[in-house]
Structure 1
Amino acid sequence: MDRFKELQEAKTAAQEVVARIDNAIASLDSAADWGIFDLFGGGMFSSFMKRDKIKDANDDLKEISDSLRILNQELEDVNMHLPETVSDTVCDNALDIWFDNVFTDARVQKEIKTELERLKEFRASVVKLIERLTIEMETGR
């Protein structure tokens, strides 16, 4: 297979990763918004909505992982790591929803913000990869 086609396939795979990261960022942004509401006394409903958005973000992260696997197949020398999933255990759900308190809400909110930053950094590294691939495709080097 010629080099240009390999680069194009890698670029397409990287663009898919970015699209999936954007979905995860949107889910975590929504979880953060619900988390703020929850911190200021939103109650069980806001805890439930926040957890639903965290679940959506974790689903998005799985899709990122699947897309990254394809990208790594296309460009084996790319060494990137996915952010860890946001905690969504049964224990966390029970604590956050049924024993709704400011301490649990604050911890979960901090986790959401940390994961948002990691995703944004990861997205930036994939965008840089796309830029490098584009330059190589245009210049042939």
Structure 2
Amino acid sequence: MNQQLIKARDAVDVALACIDEIQKMTSNAKAWSWFDILGNGFIGSFYKRQNIKNINDKMTALQEDLQRVVAELEDINLTADFNLSDTSPDLFLDVFFDNIVTDIRVHQELSDLNHELENTAEQLNIIARVIDNEF
């Protein structure tokens, strides 16, 4: 077994695990977002914002994981490009402009982020299959 292939596959697995965690957090934030949209007030907003903060923290870790994947892929003559948006401005806007329009926008952006994560996971799974075929 080629050590470089193993390192690349491990990097892909770490990134996929991180995506899975973020998707779970996103689902939780979207659930709290519904409470916030439907007028649950402080409690819904508080838990939604906590989840968004955790998502933002985990997105930073995912960006690092994806950079590691790209570096490991270069070692085995493969390339990849991952583009994920940053959701950190949403917390600021949601805290200072807490209204139905902002709540709906944040809810939609959580959905968009989940879609981006699904696309990135799909790319990583394709890369994993390519690496597995090289073993």
Alignment partners' CA distance in 2, 1:91 and 1:36: 17
TM-score, normalising length: structure 1: 0.86
Q: 2:105 aligns with which of 104, 107, 127?
A: 107
Alignment partners' CA distance in 2, 1:38 and 1:131: 41
Tell me if the contact between 1:35 and 1:105 (Cα under 8 Å) persists in the aligned partners: yes
1:23 partner letter: E
2:24 partner letter: A
Deviation at 1:89, TM superposition (A): 4.5
Partner of 1:85: 86
Alignment partners' CA distance in 2, 1:8 and 1:94: 47
1:111 partner letter: E
1:132 partner letter: V
Partner of 2:68: 70
Q: Which runs of 4+ in 1 moved over 3 A?
A: none
RMSD: 1.5
Question: Which range is displaced more, 29-38 or 82-91?
Answer: 82-91
Deviation at 1:51, TM superposition (A): 0.9
How many residues are matched?
131
Do structure 1's residue 94 and structure 2's residue 92 form an aligned pair?
Answer: no
Gaps of 5+ in 2: none
Gaps of 5+ in 1: none
Alignment partners' CA distance in 1, 2:130 and 2:19: 19
Q: 2:33 aligns with which of 19, 32, 35?
A: 35
Alignment partners' CA distance in 1, 2:94 and 2:32: 16
Deviation at 1:91, TM superposition (A): 3.5
Task: Say which one has the larger Rg.
Answer: 1
